[in-house]
Copies of this chain bind each other. A is one copy, B any other.
Amino acid sequence: MNKHFDVGIIGGGVIGQSIAYQLAKEGVSVVVLESQKIGSGATNAAAGMLGANSELEANDAFFQFAKESQRLYHTLSNELFEYSQINIQLVDNGMYKLAIKDDEVEALQQLVKHHSSLQWHSREVVLENEPTLSMGIKGALYIPEDGHVSPTHVCAAFSKSANYFGASIFENTPVHTIEKTAANEYTLSTPHTEFTCKHVVIANGVWSGYFFKQLGINGSLKPVKGECLAFQSSDIHLEKTIFYDHCYIVPKGDGRFVVGASMVENDWNTLPTIGGIHSLLEKVTPILANMESATLLHTWAGLRPQTDDGKPYIGQHPDGESIYFATGHYRNGILLAPQTGIMIRDLILGREQNEEYVEAFSLKRKLAQKVRG
């Protein structure tokens, strides 16, 4: 098998596959090295909410980046289907961010003033649009642009499309070390094969932190475990995604509803905890009228990579090594995957960049003290 590539991507999740797709489409020879199965990390565990507005507060470069990425899904949906025959399940019915306490009403109404795309819906309007929500709510912020996709389908579609353009994708292939060769290339050692590449992209989520140390990067990633559950009910109908107190209910395109996600810090176990699922049930029960009698289908968890300031690392190695980082996407990996793929592609191909983004996601940036909530 070929063991020499222009670009070696470590991590076969949605970020790595998006990068592989953008590069392969430009004719670059790419290999993706995934330690387990494609998407088997944080990707498959995500609910797929495209929450640019609901998740982000400040109107900064990060927010602009997220909005651009969100918009990209509309073109990618057809583009990826053409190359992969995979439908990414884009649903674009917007989101309700609920207010149950009075101060929440105020806070959300404030946002409407600053974002023309947002609207405030009174209790009456909300219950008319979503009659199965509980009577307890006081109103909701309507976010037309925040839809959702199926993360598993998005990742598979990027992967099959990259593969269509010639990218090689190896599962069960963890990279243990990155070493520089005499020829200024990089050797990626796996338990069974060595790959040599001109450029390396580190995109294996929370496990990227290991390479930070190995490559002398001053920064770190911590896992924030997100626990989720899926339920079903013939008494519950939702057109929009529902969001309240970091907890969302996403109506998926197969009749299931996905509820997520808890935030358990520094737990590396990839299965849900009793405590996490318990807290999720506490949070979600008051939101829907018939929640108690709904059928619990499934529970699971994933490890989201969090940086010290909660924003991703997307950029080149500070010392100018031809090593690139695309990790630390925390709760927003699915949302940010399209634009991350384009940004890394342009960095590697030496194309013009949006300097604001380069700055915002640089590994050299001064990290805010407070983590994004």
A104 interface contact, C-beta 8 A: no
Which residue of chain B lies nearest to A152 when distances are taken between CB atoms in the complex? B254
Tell me, yes or no, whether A207 is within 8 Å of chain B by CB: yes
Please give me the 7 A-B residue pairs with the lowest Cβ-Cβ distance, nearest first: A275-B292, A191-B210, A156-B255, A87-B253, A278-B281, A176-B176, A172-B268
Does A160 touch B at the CB level, under 8 Å?
A: yes
B residues less than 8 Å from A273 (CB atoms):
292-296
From 150 to 178 in chain A, residues with beta carbon under 8 angstroms from any chain B beta carbon are 152-153, 156-157, 159-160, 163-164, 169, 171-174, 176-177
Would you list which residues of chain A between 50 and 106 have a CB under 8 Å from chain B? 84-87, 89, 91, 93
A interface residues with partner B (beta carbon < 8 Å)? 35-36, 84-87, 89, 91, 93, 152-153, 156-157, 159-160, 163-164, 169, 171-174, 176-177, 189-192, 206-207, 209-210, 213, 223, 231, 234, 237-239, 251, 253-255, 267-275, 277-278, 281-282, 284-285, 291-297, 299
> Contact between A177 and B174 (Cβ–Cβ < 8 Å)?
no
Chain B residue at minimal CB-CB distance from A295: B271
CA distance A152 to B232 in the complex (A): 14
Complex-state Cα separation, A170 to B284, whole angstroms: 25
CB pair B253–A86 under 8 Å, yes or no, is: yes
| 21 interchain pairs, CB-CB under 8 A | A85-B238, A85-B239, A87-B253, A152-B254, A157-B255, A169-B234, A174-B174, A189-B213, A191-B207, A191-B210, A192-B209, A271-B296, A273-B292, A273-B293, A273-B295, A273-B296, A274-B295, A275-B285, A275-B293, A277-B281, A278-B278
Residues of B within 8 A of A267 (CB): 293
- Closest CB in chain B relative to A289 CB, distance in Å: 12
Q: Which residues of B contact A291 (CB under 8 A)?
A: 274-275
A254 / chain B contacts, CB cutoff of 8 Å = 86, 152-153, 156
A210 touches B223 (CB 8 A): no
Which chain B positions have C-beta within 8 A of A173? 268
How far is B191's CA from A156's CA once the two chains are assembled, in angstroms? 26
Which residues from B are CB-within-8-Å of A296?
Answer: 271-274, 277, 299
- Tell whether, in the assembled complex, residue A191 and residue B209 are in contact, meaning their CB atoms are under 8 Å apart: yes
Contacts A163-B234, A210-B176, A253-B87; is A281 near B274 (CB within 8 Å)? yes
A294 to B190, CA, bound (A): 23
